[in-house]
């Protein structure tokens, strides 16, 4: 548990650590008030049981004289003071719960935001290896579980534990023998159950986390391929994939709940039985019943406060133990990337980003003996590749699936870094330090366009707040992508039409053209099309290619070709096989070579 507490301390920022110390101070005040409220019952019950005590007790006599009331009025005053003490105590306890909950959920907010930044800052290669399922689950589910099932129980343990300690101190001062017996009876029962079951709790907590990952993965895959799921009628497969870990998850949760409430029922029986024994003990050790009543009242009131506090402490401890693995997982993800290595994640400027600094690019993009391998790959995806792409030229990369052409583009995008060789922009090597500046030069159109469930305008501007969208840039890019007339004339609300989740209300060609408009919105120097015309019909493809050809006079255009006919107008074509550039030249030259390119053309 000590290592877990250190990890929690690491997860908190300096401001939250200060708030945590203030909370500890507040809990001490609440504990003292609880002690005072319970103590206040003694003089009240003593006066009620024995009116003569007002004259024989020095402190009561002084207060009676100061109050200047008759005996009945004085008793009423004492009762009102007891009630006031209870009101103040309960009010401060409520304040403590509010502040502690606010603290726990502020940690939730900060931690989820920090995790999102950390995941977005990770290299693209990490997502290629791990996928996004764990990242989404940790941000949206596990951080919330950490707050509900670790931070809140931890704070609850602090609140209730302080109350328990101060009330135990009080009953020890009043009668240490009775306090010792009660503490051993009740506290010992809780301690015994916890010590016996804590290892089991930790084990099922880890298994709960594993089952939850499988549940989340099954749901993501089912809805991520929803069209295929319906078409191939594979609904039962995904239901089965979800049900098995869900049943295990539910079983682990039930076990934890059972353990958490286990001692309560036994101890309630012991408490009532113990109260009868206590009455008999006090009567036998005091001269009269009236002298025993104040002490009995204090113990009854202290027990009334202690029993739920002890149960809360035990429940909090079992919850902490059960969910202990959450802390280690989140700590690992938050601290896996040192803050100094994170790239700067800066908000988009009001102008949409066009005013941001770009890398100087007026000569060429050059690969100098570049090699790159995916982790666990049998051979390099790109092996000792050298070539040059002149500024304001249009080039294409052709090759079969898995040949390495998409990896070359990912290297140009800075999503991967060479393991050998260099990528040079006008002679300056691309590095982690300057990659964000280089990316501002690039407009990228992938084969599969992601569209969010928002307006057409926001999908084109992608990541630009609605109030900052440049209308002129929006229309310019839409016209260049041959989508403007469709948006204006065919969609009910024009650019304010909601596209639907993943663009389901649009055809494949329309989604692709919106993706092209998105790439053109920032007026980039370099346009990269990763088989981006594959979903277009012949007429639309020709219109888009005409626009691309026009752009090539003022921009550098890089194509990964799906249809080899689209590369006829390119200034240079690179043919890629098994990570090597095996041929290069213009379209006519490559046909004359009767090599790989010619074979690809003839096989279509």
330 vs 288, higher pLDDT: 330
Mean pLDDT of 246-269: 68
Q: Are strands 428-429 and 420-425 parallel, antiparallel or unpaired?
A: antiparallel
Structure tokens at 73: 């009025």
At residue 349, the pLDDT reads 47
Task: Sheet containing 572-577: give its strands across.
Answer: 442-445, 526-530, 556-560, 394-398, 572-577, 580-585
Other C-beta atoms within 10 Å of 390: how many? 14
- pLDDT band, residue 207 (cuts 50/70/90): confident
Mean pLDDT of 208-215: 76
At residue 167, the pLDDT reads 72
Q: Which residues neighbour 147 within 8 Å (Cβ) at sequence distance 6 or greater?
A: 104, 105, 107, 108, 111
Percent of the chain residues past pLDDT 70, beyond the cut = 67
Q: In whole angstroms, what is the distance from residue 85 CA to residue 443 CA?
A: 69
Per-position b or e across 486-512, b if 16+ CB within 10 A of its CB: bbeeebeeebebbbeebbeebeebbbb
- Poorest-confidence range of 6-15, 189-198, 315-324, 561-570? 189-198
At residue 340, the pLDDT reads 41
Q: What angle do CA 446, 449, 451 make, to 5 degrees?
A: 145
Is the predicted pLDDT of residue 102 greater than 70, yes or no?
A: yes
Query: Is the CB of residue 137 less than 8 Å from the CB of residue 47?
Result: no
Closest CA to 269 of 234, 307, 220: 307
Beta bridge partners of 573: 396, 585
Confidence (pTM): 0.62
DSSP string, 311-368: HHHHHHHHHHHHTHHHHHHHHHHHHSS-GGGSPP--PPPTTTTTTS-----SSEEEEE
At residue 254, the pLDDT reads 74
- pLDDT band, residue 180 (cuts 50/70/90): low
At residue 20, the pLDDT reads 79
Q: Which of 83-92, 276-285, 460-469 is modeled with the greatest confidence?
A: 460-469
- pLDDT band, residue 491 (cuts 50/70/90): confident
For 449, phi and psi rounded to 5 degrees? -90, 125
Beta bridge partners of 424: 366, 429
Closest CA to 92 of 170, 180, 31: 31
How does pLDDT run across 151-160, given as a tens digit for each residue? 777 777 777 7
How does pLDDT run across 375-434, given as a tens digit for each residue? 877 889 999 999 999 998 899 998 888 888 989 999 999 888 999 999 999 999 998 888
At residue 572, the pLDDT reads 92
At residue 350, the pLDDT reads 39
Mean pLDDT of 224-250: 70
Mean pLDDT in the chain?
A: 76
Structure tokens at 161: 């534990």
How does pLDDT run across 556-581, given as a tens digit for each residue? 999 987 667 778 888 899 999 999 99
Question: Which residue matches tokens 């988009």?
Answer: 348
Per-position b or e across 438-460, b if 16+ CB within 10 A of its CB: bbebbbbbbbebebeeebbbbbb
540 vs 454, higher pLDDT: 454
Tell me whether residue 286 is exposed, middle or buried, using C-beta atoms within 10 angstroms of its C-beta: 0 to 12, 13 to 18, 19 or more: middle
- pLDDT band, residue 341 (cuts 50/70/90): very low
How does pLDDT run across 27-83, given as a tens digit for each residue? 778 777 777 777 777 666 766 666 666 666 666 677 767 777 776 777 777 778 878
How does pLDDT run across 493-509, given as a tens digit for each residue? 888 888 765 555 677 77
Residue ranges of alpha helices (H) inside 68-187 are 71-121, 124-130, 133-137, 143-146, 152-174, 176-182
Residue 231 CA neighbour count, 13 Å, CB half: 4
Q: Which of 271-285, 295-309, 559-573 is modeled with the greatest confidence?
A: 559-573
At residue 385, the pLDDT reads 93
Cα maximum dimension of the chain:
122
Tell me whether residue 332 is exposed, middle or buried, using C-beta atoms within 10 angstroms of its C-beta: 0 to 12, 13 to 18, 19 or more: exposed
Residue 255 CA neighbour count, 13 Å, CB half: 19
Beta bridge partners of 382: 372
Q: In whole angstroms, what is the distance from residue 407 CA to residue 387 CA?
A: 15
């Amino acid at each position: 548990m000590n290592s877990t507490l250190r990890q929690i301390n690491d997860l908190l920022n300096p401001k939250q650590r200060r708030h945590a110390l203030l909370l500890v101070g507040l809990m001490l005040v609440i504990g003292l008030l609880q002690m005072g409220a319970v103590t206040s019952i003694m003089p009240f019950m003593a006066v009620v049981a024995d009116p003569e005590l007002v004259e024989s007790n020095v402190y009561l006599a002084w207060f009676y004289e100061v109050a200047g009331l008759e005996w009945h009025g004085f008793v009423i005053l004492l009762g009102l003071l007891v009630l006031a003490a209870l009101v103040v105590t309960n009010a401060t306890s409520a304040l403590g719960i509010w502040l502690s909950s606010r603290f726990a959920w502020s940690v939730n907010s900060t931690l989820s935001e920090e995790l999102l930044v950390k995941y977005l800052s990770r290299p693209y290669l990490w997502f290629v290896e791990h996928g996004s399922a764990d990242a989404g689950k940790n941000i949206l589910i596990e951080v919330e579980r950490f707050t509900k099932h670790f931070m809140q129980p931890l704070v609850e343990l602090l609140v209730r534990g302080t109350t328990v300690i101060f009330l135990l101190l009080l009953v020890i001062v009043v009668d240490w023998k009775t306090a010792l017996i009660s503490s051993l009876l009740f506290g010992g029962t809780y301690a015994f159950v916890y010590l016996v079951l804590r290892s089991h709790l930790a084990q099922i907590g880890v298994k709960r986390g594993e089952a939850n990952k499988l549940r989340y993965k099954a749901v993501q895959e089912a809805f991520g391929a929803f069209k295929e799921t319906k078409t191939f009628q594979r609904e039962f497969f995904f239901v089965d994939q979800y049900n098995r870990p869900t049943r295990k998850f539910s079983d682990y949760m039930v076990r934890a709940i059972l353990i958490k409430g286990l001692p309560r029922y036994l101890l309630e029986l012991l408490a009532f039985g113990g109260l009868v024994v206590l009455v008999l003990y006090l009567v036998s050790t005091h001269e009269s019943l009236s002298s025993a009543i104040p002490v009995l009242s204090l113990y009854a009131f202290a027990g009334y406060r202690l029993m739920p506090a002890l149960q809360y402490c035990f429940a909090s401890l079992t919850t902490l133990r059960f969910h202990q693995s959450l802390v280690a997982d989140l700590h690992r993800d938050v601290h896996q990337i040192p803050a100094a290595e994170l790239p700067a994640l800066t908000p988009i400027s009001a102008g949409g980003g066009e005013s941001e600094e770009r890398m100087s690019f007026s000569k060429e993009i050059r690969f100098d003996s570049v090699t790159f391998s995916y982790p666990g790959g049998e051979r390099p995806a790109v092996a000792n590749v050298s070539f040059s792409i002149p500024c304001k030229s249009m080039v294409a990369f052709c090759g079969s699936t898995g040949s390495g052409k998409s990896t070359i583009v990912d290297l140009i995008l800075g999503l991967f870094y060479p393991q050998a060789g260099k990528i040079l922009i006008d002679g300056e090597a691309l590095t982690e330090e300057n990659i964000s500046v280089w990316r501002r030069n690039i407009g990228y159109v992938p084969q599969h366009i992601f569209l969010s469930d928002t307006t057409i305008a926001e999908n084109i501007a992608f990541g630009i707040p609605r109030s900052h969208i440049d209308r002129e840039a929006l229309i310019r890019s839409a016209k260049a992508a041959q989508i403007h007339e469709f948006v204006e004339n065919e969609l009910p609300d024009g650019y304010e039409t909601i596209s639907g989740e993943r663009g389901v209300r649009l055809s494949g060609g329309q989604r692709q053209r919106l993706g092209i408009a998105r790439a053109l919105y920032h007026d980039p120097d370099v346009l990269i099309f990763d088989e981006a015309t594959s979903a277009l019909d012949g007429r639309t493809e020709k219109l888009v290619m005409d626009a691309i050809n026009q752009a090539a006079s003022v921009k550098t255009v890089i194509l990964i070709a799906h249809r080899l006919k689209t590369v006829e107008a390119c200034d240079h074509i690179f043919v890629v096989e098994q990570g090597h550039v095996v041929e290069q030249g213009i379209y006519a030259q490559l046909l004359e070579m009767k090599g790989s390119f010619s074979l690809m053309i003839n096989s279509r």
